[in-house]
Amino acid sequence: MSSLLEIKNLSIDLHADRERFNVINNINLTIEKRQKYGIVGESGSGKSLTSLSIMNLLPDALTISSGDIIFNGETDLTNLSKKDFLNIRGNEISMIFQEPMTALDPLYPIEHQIMEVLKFHGSYNKKQMKQLAVEMLEKVGIPRPHQLMKEYPHQLSGGMRQRIMIAIALICNPKLLIADEPTTALDVTIQAQILDLMNELTDTYDTSILMITHDLGVIAETCERVAVMYSGEIVEEADVATLFKNPTHPYTVGLLESVKTLGDKSNKLYSIPGNVPTPKQLTGGCRFASRCPHAMEICRNQAPPLFSIEADHRSKCWLYGEEEVVNG
Amino acid sequence: MKSFFERLRKDKVGLIGFLGIFIVILIGLLSPFIAPYSPEQMFTEHTMEGPSRQFIFGTDEFGRDIFSRIVYGTQVSLKVGIIAVGIGAGCGLIFGLISGYFQGKVDQVIMRIMDVFFAFPDILLALAIVAVLGPSLTNTMIAIGIVFTPVFTRTVRAAVIAVKENEYITSAVAIGVNPINIILKHITPNILAPFIVQITLALSGAILTEAALSFLGLGIQPPNPSWGVMLDASRTYMEFAPWTILFPAGAIVFTIFCFNLFGDSLRDILDPKMK
């Protein structure tokens, strides 16, 4: 059985000031059917760009310079025509965005926005669409769905809107749901509810999730497999349990340490010194070398490949330089 | 729509403008019933008479009733204003949407052409176009429409670029809405506020430009009653028959003033940040 989504050697370049800067460098990842996959990284690590490239929603200044994105074992999304993409978006692959406050068109009532997806994917009459929309709103846990259908986005809270975004994303029963920081803009109690809802619904619909977040807690709660991104590269990839128990890349270690745990008496938060290098600052070596506590001579001169630590656990660091993954 | 009138009622200045426009439109629509005489009827024994009970705004050099001519001139002014602005707004909307949505080379070409039009003063450009097409009512409207196209294109383009960045546009794309529907159903309704405001402001500009063109003899041709034509004809008699110029000028001032008042308050009312 083939995987649902395979990203192979994906690189994305930024065109600015008549120059090209590499922003995503040679990413490989595979999402199996029904799998919940997480990408974690700080701002500017390229995690959102990766998700946008799957949907072909990259801003004009960014282009895929090499690599393939194979969907469902057969379709290469990187050279799909615009027309064919209309059929994929919202139907086969859906997306939830970070800001529920702005992700709904302020001028239309909720029913219009849910029914719009159905209008473009499938042949339903108005009554059927309305029926499906109400059922979907019930499934995402919205009370009095009939009344809510007539309301406008500004009348609803952030949590409600995110539920509606989930309803819109799942109503066509997509194979893959991309969630780009779906809970970042919500407060903590709502966050947990939304994550539970996403977990529950994707289980019933057999949908895979690609969860993009900077929050390791979200990863721990929802995902099975995780990739850690830093400066446009995947630096470590493992099962969630393995990653939390045995982080290998110095960046992952730093990331885990900067999470404040309950009962921690010290007042100071750990932070990784320095910032993510901008695309213009990149040199030949490991991209994390300037901030790494274990940086060696080789790190500054030569970029490490992904080394295999154990089965299904890979790390892009010279500290583990014994068994190189050929497909890295 | 309900909240629109509620908020207009709170804005006294805007309400005055709105009522003024309403009256002007009413006069335009009902001019045959309001005007006591035909605009071309000459009372040869009553030339150049000041305001009296028979001719409340007086008569001009041919003995025509100035009040009737102003009333009928309202029709001309409104017609020119609405059609010319319709042409300008329509073209501007299309160019602006294309320019703002697709950007890149198309945008460059369209906006540079608009810049060329912008480089000329309004009146000069309208004069040049009328001079080429020949003076008539239709050509006046076309000329004014062309003059107003760049302003609309710029307004629409700027609004489109701002709206396009919103996440609801990206998420509409992400659910598989095609570009035509994105433009028509999601972008266009969201740029209407600045667009409508621009229309009210342009309406007054168009009426003014028509008056100016007619004053210069290149717009509406006499004996058709147009406020600009009346100003032009009466300027020679200004000193000893001031009523011939005062009342047409007053009509222009009143109409423009009302449109500007309404346009200004419309901008506040439609601005989502003021809600």
User: In angstroms, rounded to a whole number, what is the distance separating the alpha carbons of residues A133 and A110?
Assistant: 10
Q: Would you state the pLDDT for residue B273?
A: 52
User: Using 50, 70 and 90 to split pLDDT, how confident is the model at B275?
Assistant: very low
Report A:177-206 residues touching B (Cβ under 8 A): none
- Whether B176 and A121 lie within 8 Å, measured CB to CB: yes
Nearest CA in chain B to A115: B175
**Section A267-296 average pLDDT:** 78
- Whether B168 and A94 lie within 8 Å, measured CB to CB: no
3-class DSSP state for residue A29? strand
Residue B178 has its nearest CB partner, among A86, A91, A99, at A86
**A166 at the B interface (CB within 8 A)?**
no
Provide the percentage of residues in chain B whose pLDDT is more than 70. 97
B3-32: pLDDT as tens digits = 677 777 778 888 999 999 999 999 999 988
A142-176: pLDDT as tens digits = 888 899 888 888 888 888 888 899 899 989 889 99
Q: Would you state the pLDDT for residue A81?
A: 86
Strands A176-180 and A93-96: parallel
Cβ contacts (< 8 Å) between B186 and chain A: which residues?
105
Q: Which residue has the higher pLDDT, A324 or B18?
A: B18
Structure tokens, A114: 């849910």
| ipTM summary value | 0.80
User: Using 50, 70 and 90 to split pLDDT, how confident is the model at B2?
Assistant: low
- Whether B177 and A99 lie within 8 Å, measured CB to CB: no
B193/chain A closest Cα distance in angstroms: 12
Nearest CA in chain A to B192: A107
Residue A103 has its nearest CB partner, among B168, B186, B189, at B168
Cβ contacts (< 8 Å) between B170 and chain A: which residues?
57, 97, 103
pLDDT of residue A324 exceeding 70, the answer is: no
Q: Which of A102, A105, A116, A172 to mutate to test the interface with B (most CBs of B within 10 A)?
A: A105
- Whether B176 and A86 lie within 8 Å, measured CB to CB: yes
pLDDT of residue B194 exceeding 80, the answer is: yes
pLDDT of residue B151 exceeding 90, the answer is: yes
pLDDT of residue A322 exceeding 70, the answer is: no
User: Using 50, 70 and 90 to split pLDDT, how confident is the model at B207?
Assistant: confident
First-to-last alpha carbon distance for chain B, in angstroms, is 14
User: Using 50, 70 and 90 to split pLDDT, how confident is the model at B92?
Assistant: very high
Assigned fold of A5-320: Rossmann fold (3.40.50)
Cβ contacts (< 8 Å) between B272 and chain A: which residues?
106
Cβ contacts (< 8 Å) between B177 and chain A: which residues?
86, 90, 116, 120
**Section B98-109 average pLDDT:** 92
pLDDT of residue A312 exceeding 80, the answer is: yes
Strands A307-310 and A313-315: antiparallel
- Whether B170 and A57 lie within 8 Å, measured CB to CB: yes
User: In angstroms, rounded to a whole number, what is the distance separating the alpha carbons of residues B223 and B73?
Assistant: 11
List residues bridging with A212 in a β-sheet: A39, A180
List residues bridging with A64 in a β-sheet: A12
**Section A75-100 average pLDDT:** 87
A51-84: pLDDT as tens digits = 889 988 888 888 888 889 999 888 888 888 888 8
DSSP one-letter string for A191-231: HHHHHHHHHHHHHHHT-EEEEEES-HHHHHHH-SEEEEEET
Residue B176 has its nearest CB partner, among A60, A91, A97, at A91
- A72 conformational bin, left if phi > 0, alpha if psi -120 to 50, beta if neither: left
Nearest CA in chain B to A61: B104
pLDDT of residue B268 exceeding 90, the answer is: no
Where do the domains of chain A lie? 5-320
Residue B167 has its nearest CB partner, among A60, A88, A99, at A99
List residues bridging with A66 in a β-sheet: A11
Residue A116 has its nearest CB partner, among B103, B170, B175, at B175
3-class DSSP state for residue A125? coil
Cβ contacts (< 8 Å) between B168 and chain A: which residues?
102-106
Q: Would you state the pLDDT for residue B154?
A: 94
B199/chain A closest Cα distance in angstroms: 21
Query: Which range is least confidently modeled, A112-116, A120-124, B65-69, B147-151?
Result: A120-124
Where do the domains of chain B lie? 7-30+65-274
CB pairs under 8 A between A and B: 63
Q: Which residue has the higher pLDDT, A43 or A226?
A: A226
Provide the percentage of residues in chain B whose pLDDT is more than 90. 33
Q: Which of B102, B164, B171 to mutate to test the interface with A (most CBs of A within 10 A)?
A: B171
DSSP one-letter string for A255-310: HHHTSPPTT----PPP--SS-PPPGGG--SS-TTGGG-TT--HHHHHS---PEEEE
User: Using 50, 70 and 90 to split pLDDT, how confident is the model at B203?
Assistant: confident
Assigned fold of B7-30+65-274: MetI-like fold (1.10.3720)
Cβ contacts (< 8 Å) between A86 and chain B: which residues?
176-178
**A106 at the B interface (CB within 8 A)?**
yes
B172/chain A closest Cα distance in angstroms: 8
User: In angstroms, rounded to a whole number, what is the distance separating the alpha carbons of residues A77 and A266?
Assistant: 48
Residue A89 has its nearest CB partner, among B103, B104, B175, at B175
CB A36, CB A223: distance < 8 Å: yes
Nearest CA in chain B to A112: B185
Residue A236: count other Cβ atoms within 10 Å of its Cβ. Answer: 28
**Section A9-36 average pLDDT:** 87
Mean pLDDT rounded to a whole number for chain A: 85
Residue A55 has its nearest CB partner, among B168, B174, B189, at B174
Residues of B within an 8 Å Cβ radius of A: 103-104, 166-168, 170-178, 186, 189-190, 272
